[in-house]
Structures are given as structure tokens and as C-alpha cells.
Amino acid sequence: MKSMAKMKYHYGLKMRCYPSDQQKRLIKINSDASRFIYNEMVAIGKELMQLRRVKLPIDTVQDRIKQLTMRQNAKQMSNHYQFLEDERIDSLAKANAIQNYRKAWNAFRKVHSAGVPKFHRKSYRWRYQTNCQYPGQKTALLTNGTVCFLDNSHVKVPKIGLLRVAGSQARLLKRMRETRIGTVTLTKDSADRFFLSMQLASDESFVEAPKADHGHIGIDLNTDNFLTDSEGNIVPNPRYYRTIKGKLVKEQRILSRRQRRAKKEHRFLRDSKNYQKQRLLVAKLHAKVMNQRHNFLQQISTALIKNHDLVVAEELRSKNMLKNHALALSISDVGWRSFLGMLAYKADLYGRQFITVSPRNTTQTCHNCGFVMGINGTVKLTLADRKWTCPNCGTHHIRDWNAAKNILDKGIAKLAYLICPYGNLGT
């Protein structure tokens, strides 16, 4: 049986699930155990770093290093902390917690941007990972592993049992092809909603890639409209957060008042029913905005990828752009980073091409003659200049449409370079 890594196509499936009260307690136990093991690995790593700085051959230090090193696996840690031997705790959840700690270190060594692994604090969010195994099976299917679908609405999960789910899994269950389930993640968000996520792999595509209706397209992302493409089409910005901002601010003020009252009366927030009721209301409002934005981005990205062979967008560094306090709220509300990520993975899924290019001078350059504003005594365009006329050739431009055309030209040039980086050496 092939491993996940050796299979050609990979797919992520996320479903809403509805556990019983007993199943919720089991999820909480496994989530707490996973968090404890991760934090213990962080503590061991910190102590080992301090001990290894001692260069003297002290027997006590060397023995301590040996003990801590041995404890860095699930079996030894369970032997050291007897409560981890609880039958309700999934052994694969313990192994995944240790693996996630090591992945965090690998990510730090690669990019140095996420920082070193830190302690996970207790929160209203629950999360733990397990794996699907296929003992004695020759072919991996969605219905014959330790994590498996019993029908369109029920999934069997180790230690949890039969779990009722709702999502888009019905289409996948109709596939009679080999499909392997990898990592399985159970989560609870701050709005008390439970989700089941799966990593799937197969040698055959999970989607049917239709023939593209159009060829190439460039898109310009902006805060005025969500995007403008090189064909002149405009997608309005829905501004989901701004529409609910007033109500959200009102409910957050109530939440703050209840928090102050609980602290004044020396009550823990977790034991304050009024605070928890209001916290849940605020969390549901945030979840509503997130769901609306996510659904909007999914629809737009899917339409672009399915209908075009090549999609070109500009490279945006949202982190740097958020430093502009005048535009920070608008930039956060549109979700550009999530949108570009969706375009990238959907391009691989549907067999399309997606390229990002540098946004340098895409707005300031005339698409007709190539003149760049800001040179030869001209003034650069500002955000207020939505329409402008080229001083060199006299072409009238709509700012975002012109930028989308320039982005497309840059993308085609970049694609040509990637295909043939040294040009035609024979001439």
C-alpha cells in the first residue's frame, strides 16, 4: 500500500460534526493531553538547552540530560506521567503532539519567521490530531480504515466512536478509487462549533477539470473594489466586517462590563455564566463574518481558476500593508492573503497555472505606450486618482483596469522566462 507522500493528488476535507456530550468530554480529554505533551516537549527543550551550556563533566547534569532525552517519546512520557495512560486518550494523539513540536522546530530552522515553539495556553479552542491506519488492508479506501465513513452522515473515529457529520463528503464517497485518509484533526472553535478535518491522498484527481472558457487573465486587488480583471470586469468588495461592526462593538462593550464585574466580585471568568453567555455571542458574530468572507473568497477563486488557463496576480505583503493605519481595517476585511492561497492550491487541483508578479509600477505604467508616471517631471498617481490620462500618448485609463493589464503582461513575460530562462540560444 502506498504512503500519503507517494500519491499524486492530495485533498483536504473539512466537515462540521455534532458530537454527543460524552464525545465532547472525550475530545476535551484528548485535546488537553495533546496540549500537555506539547508543552512538556517545549519545557524539556528549554531545560536541555540550559543544561548543555554547562561544559563541565558533572555527573548530575549528564544524568539529567539523559533522563530528559529519553522522555522525548510518547511511551516514555506516558510512563513518567501516569495520567497519560488513561484508556480514553488516543495513543496517536500523543505521538502527533510530539511530531507537531518537531515540525515547529523544522519550520523555524527553515524560515525563521514563526519563532521557536512556545507553550500552548489553555483556551476555549480544543484541538487534537490522530491518524487513520489500515491494518491488514491491501487497498486504502474511505470505508475500510480505523477512521472510516459508514455512510454520508457518519464517521467512525478511534476512542470517539460514531460521529455525526455534515459537509461535502457525499461526492467523494461516490468515488470507487483508492483514496487514503492521513491525518485526522478534531477541533472546537471559540463559538463552540466542532469540526472534523481529513487529509486525503489518491493517484487520481479529486475533481474533474473542465475545459477553460477563457485563456489568460490578470487581476488587480484593491480596497475600493475587491478586484478588477484585465477584461474590465469588477467584483465589488462586500465589506462583511464593516456591515456588522456596529453590532459587534455594542456586544463587546457588554462583554467587557461583565468581565469587570466578575473580576470585581472575585469570580473566575470560566465560572461566570453571564460572561460565558456573552462571550459565546461575540464569538458567533466573529464566526459569521469569517464564514461569509470565506464563502465569498471560495466562490471567486474557484470561478477564476476553472474558467482560465492562466491567472496572474500581484505579490502582496499584507503584513507590511497593515502598517498603514488608514487602510488597515479595509485590508484585513478583504482577506487578500487567504484569496491568493486559495488560487494557488486550486490551480494545482484543476491543472491550471497561477503566477504572482511584483506590483512595482503596475499602477503607474501606461499599458498602451509603457510610460511610467513620476518621471520627466510628471507626478505619481495617488489613491484618489481612479482615472487618469497618459501625458505621453494621451490614452485615458481606468486605474485598476490598466493595472490588471500590466499585471497580465508581467505574468506572461515571467511564464515565458520560466519555460525558457536563457532564450533561444540557437539564434
Indicate which residues carry an active-site annotation: 220, 314, 400
Contact 173, 150 (CB under 8 A): no
The SS3 assignment for 118 reads: coil
- State the Cα angle at 277 between 273 and 278, rounded to 5°: 120
Spatial separation of the C-alpha atoms in residues 330 and 224, rounded to whole Å: 9
Contact 384, 339 (CB under 8 A): no
Up-side HSE of residue 330: CA atoms within 13 Å toward CB? 12
Spatial separation of the C-alpha atoms in residues 240 and 153, rounded to whole Å: 31
Spatial separation of the C-alpha atoms in residues 297 and 289, rounded to whole Å: 12
Q: Residue 398: what are its φ and ψ, rounded to 5°?
A: -90, 120
Instruction: Give the C-alpha distances (Å, rounded to integers) separating 327 from 51, 224, 330.
Output: 48, 11, 5
Q: Residue 104: what are its φ and ψ, rounded to 5°?
A: -65, -40
Residue 211 C-alpha from the chain's centroid: 28
Spatial separation of the C-alpha atoms in residues 353 and 312, rounded to whole Å: 8
Q: How many residues does the chain have?
A: 427
Place of cell 549528564: 62
Contact 337, 382 (CB under 8 A): no
